C-alpha cells in the first residue's frame, strides 16, 4: 500500500510541475524545444531536425526561446560533425545577447560603484 501512496505522490508532483510549465509560455515553449529535438532526431533523423530548428529560429522573436533553439541547434550540428556551423550559431548567440545586454544597460544608465 505504501508503494501505491508513494507512486500517487510522485504523480501529483509531476502533474503540478507540468501545470507550472504549461502556465508560462516561455517554459512551455522551452520544454517543447527539448521534446521536439528528441522526437525529430528519432523519427526524421538529425539532418531534418537541423532544418526544422533553423526554420524555427527564423520564425521565433522571443529572445529566451531563440537562445534555447540556438543552443540545441549548435549541439545537433556539433554531433553531426558540422563544427564550423555550430561555432557560427554559438557566436551569434553571444553577439545577440551582448547587444541586448548593452541596449538594456544603456536604458538603465550607468551603474554606480
Supply the CATH number for residue 76's domain.
Answer: 1.25.40
Mapping DSSP onto H, E and C, the string for the chain reads CHHHHHHHHHHHHHHHHHHHHHCCHHHHHHHHHHHHHHHHHHHCCHHHHHHHHHHHHHHCCCHHHHHHHHHHHHHHHHHCCCHHHHHHHHHHHHHHHHHHHHHHHHHHCCCCC
Q: Look-up: residue for cell 528528441? A: 38
Report if residue 113 sits inside a domain: no
**Residue 100: its pLDDT value, please?**
86
Domain that holds residue 51: 2-108
Cα(80)–Cα(110) distance, rounded to whole angstroms? 44
What does R_g of the chain's alpha carbons equal in angstroms? 19
> pLDDT class for 95, splitting at 50, 70, 90?
very high
Tens digits of per-residue pLDDT, 19-61?
777 678 888 888 889 889 989 888 888 888 999 999 999 999 9
Report if residue 67 sits inside a domain: yes
Count: domains in the chain: 1
**Quick one: average pLDDT of 59-65?**
92
* Predicted TM-score (pTM) above 0.85: no
Amino acid at each position: 500500500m505504501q508503494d501505491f501512496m508513494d507512486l500517487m505522490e510522485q504523480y501529483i508532483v509531476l502533474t503540478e510541475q507540468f501545470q507550472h510549465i504549461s502556465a508560462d509560455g516561455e517554459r512551455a515553449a522551452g520544454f517543447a524545444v527539448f521534446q521536439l529535438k528528441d522526437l525529430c532526431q528519432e523519427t526524421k533523423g538529425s539532418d531534418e531536425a537541423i532544418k526544422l530548428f533553423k526554420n524555427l529560429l527564423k520564425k521565433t522573436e522571443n529572445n529566451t526561446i531563440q537562445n534555447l533553439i540556438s543552443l540545441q541547434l549548435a549541439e545537433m550540428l556539433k554531433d553531426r560533425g558540422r563544427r564550423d556551423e555550430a561555432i557560427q550559431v554559438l557566436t551569434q548567440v553571444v553577439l545577440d545577447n551582448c547587444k541586448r545586454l548593452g541596449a538594456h544597460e544603456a536604458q538603465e544608465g550607468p551603474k554606480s560603484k
